[in-house]
């Protein structure tokens, strides 16, 4: 066996038989071979193309293509004078286990129930956060808050984060239903409902608890401070507090509940009605809200803020989803006026900037219903942005659309969001070139990146091992919880470990697989969720 050379970077989850198959080599050019893992026999030989200058990493990189290798097996890339890549599979079903793991990750984030061995394997823990929570500023009021997903490496539960995660999962289910026919080993598996919906429902039932009788929605429920990094969820006994309601939370809640009402219609009409009623009440509260300013943490709350200055985009999204679900004129009119006066980005799929979800809701509604004028403008805007993303892919060495300044906290979400944008562009236009561009983002996430690292725990021969994830730190199990997407490189060095380890590095290299590096190596539900969408696209 040749020496493994970390400069030769492959998609560690593998490639499907008929996929285009690329790898990147940040070493000298020349010939390359694809060799069988067993026996080392060369089955393919080609020429590296390049070099291309990659601005985000400062590297010059070559690219190899072995798309015509279509025989199932385990292989390595070999570059004479350098070495060989990690082993990888060529396999018709290469990504099924990735979709399943990315989705199963949400089960591992469940709060308020014991995670038992038949479902959780070795990553079990006792039921957590079962108590009532105090309402901030209303000292005598205690309300239920159980269930839902822990947000991230911490145990907070935040409404706007939950809404993005649920929206991505529901879009994945709507767009790629065939990817969600398998059961993934959760307590509800086999109940006649697809597991994606089972899992999302666990979050929705919790979100319903975040709504107050007047329709408003708490921004979050957390302890006052983050617990220690090695605290298991069941040992996090500090008092829970609902932070005040917010317009951002109400809008995102209304939008995601209206989506859920559609998704559950065929499986449980009663639950679907519950979701829709909740959405309508949140919308009505938002419409009447005197003040739509964003949320700021109260002085005594030190957990994630999820601050948001602009909440007109949440209203735009909510109106679009409510219209798509009900067809009622009031929502169409509200949407049209939100669109006409929009001063927020119309194509973003973030937790704060949610305009893209509203736009998608319109683009996925049969033409004519919202007004052909608006729909055409939004479609053109969507495609213009897709062209811009695709043009960027044609430049950098890794053929992804991230610009150097987009390597921020959660850059892997930006990466997956842009892939989602490109995939929808393919759907809207019928032009597979956008999906081809999105595939480079998928390859990047799973190993074709300047660190040669799979950013998904448990997937690939060299994946992240030390995420900033309290259960993974505290459970005494060597392997981290599987299926988690790490935040990714963050050029802004926003934690002590990053400041210590990453000074002076180019943006795409500002990542450290250290459990203390929450600004590069945490996980969140809304970084996993767009990856579920992308995986579902490429598995089928
Ligand atoms: O978008 C801006 C960009 O315009 C700016 O020029 C650049 C320079 O700083 O940064 C970009 O902003 C960053 C922003 O994330 C982008 O979403 C901020 O620097 C960065 O501080 C901010 O980080 C957020 C972080 O909380 C701190 O507030 C992350 O998005 C957000 O995902 C993260 O969320 C935390 C929760 O609070 C608690 N639970 C864990 C979760 C993940 O770490
Ligand atoms: O663990 C926290 C992580 O989930 C958050 O994303 C991050 C930023 O809000 O904060 C982490 O908590 C750190 C705190 O902010 C500062 N002291 C160290 C904490 C990590 O143990
Ligand atoms: Zn919990």
User: Do 267 and 139 belong together in one domain?
Assistant: yes
Q: What is the pLDDT of residue 349?
A: 98
Nearest protein CA to atom 17 of ligand 1, as residue: 409
The count of domains in the chain is 2
Nearest protein CA to atom 1 of ligand 1, as residue: 408
Whichever domain contains 263, its CATH number is: 1.50.10.10
* Residues paired with 143 in a beta bridge: 133
Q: What is the pLDDT of residue 369?
A: 83
Banded pLDDT at 424 (limits 50, 70, 90): very high
User: Do 309 and 324 belong together in one domain?
Assistant: yes
Q: What is the pLDDT of residue 293?
A: 85
SS3 readout for 424-493 = HHHHHHCCHHHHHHHHHHHHHHCCCCCCCCECECCCCCCECCCCECHHHHHCCCCCCCCCCEECCCCCCC
Q: Could you report the per-residue pLDDT of 68-102, keeping only the tens digit for each? A: 999 999 999 999 999 999 999 999 999 999 999 99
Domain-located, residue 190: yes
Main-chain dihedrals φ then ψ at residue 402, nearest 5 degrees: -65, 135
Asked whether 151 lines ligand 2 (CB < 6 A), one says no
Asked whether 305 lines ligand 2 (CB < 6 A), one says no
Q: What is the pLDDT of residue 367?
A: 65
Q: Could you report the per-residue pLDDT of 141-196, keeping only the tens digit for each? A: 999 999 999 999 999 999 999 999 999 999 999 999 999 999 999 999 999 999 99
Is the pLDDT assigned to residue 15 strictly greater than 90? yes
- Strand 133-135 vs strand 240-242: parallel, antiparallel, or unpaired? parallel
Is the pLDDT assigned to residue 375 strictly greater than 80? yes
Ligand 1 mean position, distance from CA 364 (Å): 29
User: Do 180 and 280 belong together in one domain?
Assistant: yes
How high is the mean pLDDT of the chain? 97
Banded pLDDT at 2 (limits 50, 70, 90): confident
User: Do 154 and 243 belong together in one domain?
Assistant: yes
Domain end: 39, 61, 90, which one? Answer: 90
Name the residue of 516, 518, 520, 526 whose CB sits within 8 Å of the most ligand 2 atoms, as the mutation to test its pocket.
518
User: Do 140 and 115 belong together in one domain?
Assistant: yes
Q: Could you report the per-residue pLDDT of 101-122, keeping only the tens digit for each? A: 999 999 999 999 999 999 999 9
**Residues known to be catalytic:** 154, 468, 513, 522
Banded pLDDT at 280 (limits 50, 70, 90): very high
Ligand 2 mean position, distance from CA 531 (Å): 23
User: Do 126 and 146 belong together in one domain?
Assistant: yes
Domain-located, residue 270: yes
Ligand 1 mean position, distance from CA 494 (Å): 9
The model carries a pTM of: 0.98
3-state SS assignment for residue 89: strand
Nearest protein CA to atom 11 of ligand 2, as residue: 518
User: Do 235 and 306 belong together in one domain?
Assistant: yes
Ligand 1 mean position, distance from CA 526 (Å): 13
Q: What is the pLDDT of residue 1?
A: 65
> Which strands make up the sheet holding 8-9, listed edge to edge?
8-9, 22-25, 59-65, 49-54
**E strand or H helix at 3:** none
* Cβ atoms of 58 and 407 closer than 8 Å: no
CA within 13 Å, CB half, 479:
15
Whichever domain contains 39, its CATH number is: 2.60.40.10
Cis peptide before 51 (omega within 30 of 0): yes
Is the Cα dihedral 411, 417, 420, 425 positive or negative?
negative
Q: Could you report the per-residue pLDDT of 362-374, keeping only the tens digit for each? A: 999 876 688 889 9
Asked whether 226 lines ligand 2 (CB < 6 A), one says yes
User: Do 167 and 308 belong together in one domain?
Assistant: yes
When pLDDT is averaged across residues 227-239 and rounded to a whole number, the result is 98
User: Do 341 and 272 belong together in one domain?
Assistant: yes
Asked whether 306 lines ligand 2 (CB < 6 A), one says no
Which atom of ligand 1 is closest in space to residue 350's alpha carbon?
17
User: Do 142 and 80 belong together in one domain?
Assistant: no
Residue-number span of the structural domain to which 64 is assigned: 8-90
């Amino acid at each position: 066996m040749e020496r493994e050379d970390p400069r030769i970077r492959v998609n560690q989850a593998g490639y499907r038989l008929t996929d285009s198959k690329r790898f990147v080599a940040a070493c000298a050019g020349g010939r390359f071979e694809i060799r069988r893992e067993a026996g080392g026999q060369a089955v393919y030989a080609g020429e590296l193309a390049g070099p291309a200058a990659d601005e985000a990493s400062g590297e010059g990189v070559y690219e190899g293509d072995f798309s015509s290798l279509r025989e199932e097996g385990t292989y390595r890339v070999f570059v004479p004078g350098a070495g060989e890549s990690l082993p990888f599979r060529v396999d018709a079903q290469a990504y099924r286990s990735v979709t399943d793991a990315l989705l199963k990750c949400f089960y591992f984030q469940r709060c308020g129930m014991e995670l038992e061995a038949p479902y959780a394997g070795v990553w079990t823990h006792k039921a957590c956060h079962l108590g009532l929570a105090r309402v901030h500023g209303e000292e005598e009021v205690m309300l239920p808050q159980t269930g839902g997903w822990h947000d991230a490496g911490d145990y907070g539960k935040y409404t706007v984060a939950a809404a993005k995660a649920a929206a991505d999962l529901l879009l994945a289910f709507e767009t790629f239903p065939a990817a969600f026919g398998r059961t993934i080993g959760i307590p509800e598996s086999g109940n006649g409902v697809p597991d994606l919906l089972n899992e999302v429902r666990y979050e929705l039932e919790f979100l319903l608890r975040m709504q107050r009788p007047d329709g408003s929605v708490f921004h979050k429920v957390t302890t006052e401070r983050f617990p220690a990094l090695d605290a298991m969820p069941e040992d996090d006994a500090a008092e829970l507090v609902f932070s005040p309601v917010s317009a951002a939370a109400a809008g995102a809640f209304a939008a995601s509940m209206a989506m859920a009402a559609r998704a559950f219609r065929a499986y449980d009409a009663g639950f679907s009605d519950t979701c829709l009623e909740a959405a309508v009440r949140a919308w009505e509260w938002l419409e009447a809200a005197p003040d739509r300013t964003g949320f700021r943490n109260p002085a005594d709350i030190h957990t994630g803020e999820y601050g948001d200055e602009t909440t007109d985009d949440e209203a735009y999204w909510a109106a679009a989803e409510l219209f798509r679900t009900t067809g009622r004129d009031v929502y169409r009119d509200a949407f049209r006026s939100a669109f006409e006066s929009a001063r927020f980005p119309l194509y973003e799929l973030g937790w704060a900037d949610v305009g893209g979800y509203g736009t998608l809701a319109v683009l996925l509604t049969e033409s004519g219903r919202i007004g052909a004028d608006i729909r055409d403008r939004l479609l053109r805007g969507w495609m213009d942005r897709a062209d811009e993303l695709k043009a960027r892919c044609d430049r950098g060495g890794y053929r992804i659309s991230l610009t150097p300044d987009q390597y921020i906290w959660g850059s892997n979400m930006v990466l997956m969001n842009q892939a989602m944008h490109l995939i929808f562009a393919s759907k809207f236009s019928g032009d597979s070139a956008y999906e081809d561009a999105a595939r480079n983002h998928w390859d990047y996430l799973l190993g074709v990146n300047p660190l040669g690292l799979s950013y998904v725990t448990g997937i690939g021969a060299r994946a992240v091992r030390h995420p900033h994830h309290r259960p993974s730190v505290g459970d005494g199990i060597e392997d981290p919880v599987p299926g988690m997407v790490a935040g990714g490189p963050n050029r802004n060095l926003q934690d002590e470990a990053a400041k210590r380890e990453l000074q002076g590095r180019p943006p795409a290299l500002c990542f450290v697989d250290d459990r203390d590096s929450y600004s590069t190596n945490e996980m969140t539900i809304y970084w996993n969720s767009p990856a579920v969408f992308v995986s579902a696209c490429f598995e089928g």
